[in-house]
Amino acid sequence: MSNSGPKGRRETQLALQRAVAELSLTRSPGAISIKEIAEAAGVTAGLVHYYYETKDDLIGATLVMLAEHLLEPTETDDPREVAETFLDRLVAEPSFVRIGSWLVLSGPRPHSAMGRFPLVDRLRETMEPELDRDARIATALSVVLAAAFFAPILSDATGAPYADVVANLRTITGDLTAGN
């Protein structure tokens, strides 16, 4: 290891979080070792433990860091545009989806790893002042995002063809935006 590693508390924490995000693109966060994270960040394994009590704490901090990027202010307060910007950022940040999905499906409960849900708070704050239709659109967007992650699992679990699961989710999404 060279002396060119991160310097200072915040820089080291960001390097560790970026290492988790990068490594999670190829493997489950649970399968990544502290040693691998330290090597990718350019620090010692002891330093990982100095800043984070557990690997789950580091994974939670990584998810918060990624969520902060997703929630950076937008140029508009229009709820639809905020939701579209959020979706664009979400697609551009696959680590958030992979780590978040892992936390939901096999890791600790997301609230224990992340604390509060700043992502949900920000979307809710943006949508609440608007009309009910905008809240329905936000709800529909949530269903679409969930469908993107879980439609294959629903198909396998129920034995229903994937196309049928997607068609049913589209119907539900349409009903939500229409206020049904």
List the domains of the chain with CATH numbers: 9-178 (1.10.357.10)
For residues 93-98, average pLDDT: 82
Mean pLDDT comparison of 33-47, 106-120, 125-139, highest-scoring range:
33-47
Give the model confidence (pLDDT) of 125-176 as tens digits. Answer: 655 555 466 666 666 667 666 666 676 677 777 888 877 877 776 676 656 5
Q: Residue holding tokens 């349409």? A: 174
Rg of the Cα atoms in the chain? 19
What is the pLDDT of the chain when averaged over all its residues? 76
pLDDT band per the 50, 70, 90 thresholds, residue 5: confident
Q: Is the pLDDT of residue 178 over 70?
A: no
Q: Does this model's pTM top 0.85?
A: no
Mean pLDDT comparison of 15-29, 69-83, 91-105, 111-125, highest-scoring range:
15-29
Q: Residue holding tokens 């629903």? A: 154
CB-CB contact of 138 with 179 (8 Å): no
